[in-house]
Amino acid sequence: MNRDEMIELLGQLNDVWGTSGQERMVGDKLGELLCDCTDEQFEDALGNRFFVKKGRNPDLKVMVTAHMDEIGFIVQDIWDDGYVAFLPVGMHDTRLLTNQVMTIHTKHGDVSGVIGIKPIHQGGTEEGRISYLDLKLDVGTFSREETEKLGILPGDPITNERGWRVMNGNIFSGKAVDNRAGCAAMVAAMKQLKDIETEATIYCCGSAMEEMGVKGSGPAAAKIRPDVAICLDVCFGAVDSNLGGNNRRNYLGHGPALMFYDWNNTSCLGNIVPERLREKMLSAAEKAGCPYQIGVTLNCGTDAAIMSLSGTGVLTGGIGIPNRYMHSAVGTVCVDDVLGAGSILTEFIKDAAASFEK
């Protein structure tokens, strides 16, 4: 897969929406993209989507996850003057939500709205933080009844209406690069493996509800019972040359990061990669022949944490795609880094052998 093909793939995956618990369209798109390079597809009760490529050894299982969901919002209530009150689905910085265009996905169709606040001329909020009570979604109505006639109900999902763009030929920005970039790397790897007979049977999983506390990947791993698992996700992309207290400086364009340590020291959610798996990941990165970095980070937690604790324990690593402006409508990744993540995963799967068996 070349750069132009990856840009097209990232665009397709960003165009579909899927907040936590609402990942169906993303799963359907993955099914469409993977139908010619996998042997079986199925879904579980939580909405996790599985795509299986059978290997020579059905008892040697490699699981690959990339979470499908994007951060978004949910309708909480409707104000008497017609405005829509909403709450976050996933972690947001409320300062980034003003002047945004939103889409409410109702069972009767999509409804557009905008988020504004009182103009600065009229004494708009001076607080550094904006609460969700300050944020009202304007759908062009003037009463609760008028808004309800549009089909809007509490519980309806809301997404940010922000298209994607390519900057300087190699930098992709969009509302859902976290984690459609990981999904794209997974697709790229499977397409590279299409005509290769692998020793291991590969279980690709588009996981559900990662942004709401990594809820889908644990049950998915319990169902598969893999010998080894790799989590594809974004990681913090450095925005300057300063050394941060929490993260290594992983830069866009310097290659994907082999995530050897990630930990949220508030929730104690995290993963540390055992030595024998680190060596396998490093070997795969060298064979892929692309630039790569090492990821060591705090204040982060991915599907890897939950997969590693599934059943009696799973040998689990991660590959992170550096992402600037994480959890915003303008998440930004390097296209070549996404391609590199797919290539490293491809080499890892090709080398998976009996050393990973239980």
Are residues 297 and 261 in contact, defined by beta-carbon separation less than 8 angstroms? yes
The mean pLDDT value for 230-242 works out to 90
User: pLDDT-based confidence at 89, cuts 50/70/90?
Assistant: very high
Percent of the chain with pLDDT over 70: 95
Tell me what the mean pLDDT of segment 148-157 comes to: 97
pLDDT value of position 118: 73
pLDDT of residue 354: 52
Q: Where are the alpha helices (DSSP H) in the chain?
A: 3-15, 24-34, 144-149, 177-192, 217-224, 275-288, 303-308, 335-351
CA dihedral 5, 7, 13, 15 (to 10 degrees): -120
Q: Which CATH number fits domain 3-70+175-356: 3.10.105.10, 3.40.630.10, 2.40.30.10, 3.90.1150.10?
A: 3.40.630.10
**Tens digit of pLDDT for each residue in 118-151?**
776 666 555 567 888 888 999 999 999 999 999 9
Q: Which residues pair with 297 in a beta bridge?
A: 247, 262
Span 204-225, pLDDT tens digits: 999 999 999 999 999 999 999 9
pTM assigned to the model: 0.94
* Residue boundaries of the structural domains of the chain: 3-70+175-356, 72-160
Residue 164 C-alpha from the chain's centroid: 15
Assign domain 72-160 to its CATH architecture. Beta Barrel (2.40)
Q: How far apart are CA 344 and CA 232, in angstroms?
A: 11
Q: Model confidence over 161-211: pLDDT tens digits?
A: 989 999 999 999 999 999 999 999 999 999 999 999 999 999 999 999 999
Mean confidence (pLDDT) of the chain: 93
